[in-house]
Structure 1
Amino acid sequence: MTSPLIEGLRNWADGFSADRAAVELLITHESWLVRPDFLDRCVTEMPVEELFDPARPIAIIDWDETFRAVVDGLPASSSMVAILRIAVSLGRGEPVDLRDALVGLDATNTAAVATAVVTAAQADTRVHVTLAPRDLPGWLRQG
C-alpha cells in the first residue's frame, strides 16, 4: 500500500523509532489508514504550502486523539482495536495489556506487532519476524 498519505506518515515518523514503529504497524495492518472516520479524526495531512519541502509530504497522527478514539470505542473488530491500541502505546506511550491485546491476533498481525516492537527498539535492521500459522491442538480440531 503506497500513497501520498503513507509517504507522508513515513516522512513524519522518520528518525523517531517509536513513531515509525507505530506508523508501520498501521500501514502493515492496512485497515485504519483507509477509514475516513479514523483519518478525519486522527490524521492531518499538511497542506503543500506549509511544507518545508513541497516534494516531501507530511502526514501527522495525533496520538492523543487516537487514544481518545480507542477509549470512545471507535467501531472496529477486536483485532483492529488491538492493533490500534498497540500503535497508540508505541506512539503515545500509553500502557497496553499485551496479554489482552495479543489474544486472537492471527500470525500476520502477531508478526506485525513483533516487528513494530523490534523497530521501536531500533533493531529493525537486524531482525525480521515471520510467524507460521500454528496448528490447533487435537481437542480443538473438528472432525
Structure 2
Amino acid sequence: MKHLAILIVEDNPQDERLMLRALRKANLANTIDVVRDGQQALDYLFAEGEFAGRDGGLPAVVLLDIGLPRLSGLEVLERLRADPRTRLLPVVILTSSDEENDRLRSYESGANSFVRKPLEFAGFAETVARLGSYWLLINDPLRL
C-alpha cells in the first residue's frame, strides 16, 4: 500500500504547530507537508514553481484554511476541482470562520468537509487528530 501523506495549507504558525503536534501525538506515521499560502498549495499539488519536479504524488487529504495569502483557500479549492488530476482529491476546509457563506461556498466549490477550528487548544488538537485518523486510517481512498 502506498504511503499516504497529509498536506496542510495554513498561514498561521501557531495553528500549524498545533496541527503538527496533534497529528504526531495521534501516532500517524505519515508524511505531513506544510505550505503557507494558496499559490504554494497549487504549486505543490501540480509540481510547479518552487515544487517543480516534486515526485511525491498527491496527498491522501488536504487540510485547507480559507484565509490564505496570495490565493484564498476557496480559490485553491475551485482550481483543484477544475483540474482532472485533482478534482477527486479529498479537501477538508479547516478554518476559524463561522460564516454561513464560507460554509456554503466551500461545499458548492467541492469541499469534502467543512470543519471549524475550535478555539481552545485541547479541542483543536482533538479535532485535527480525528481528521487525520479518519482520512488516513478509516477512509478508503481512491488511488489518484
Q: Considering only CA atoms, is the larger Rg found in Structure 1 or Structure 2?
A: 1
| Higher strand residue share | 2
TM-score relative to the length of structure 1? 0.30
TM-score relative to the length of structure 2? 0.30
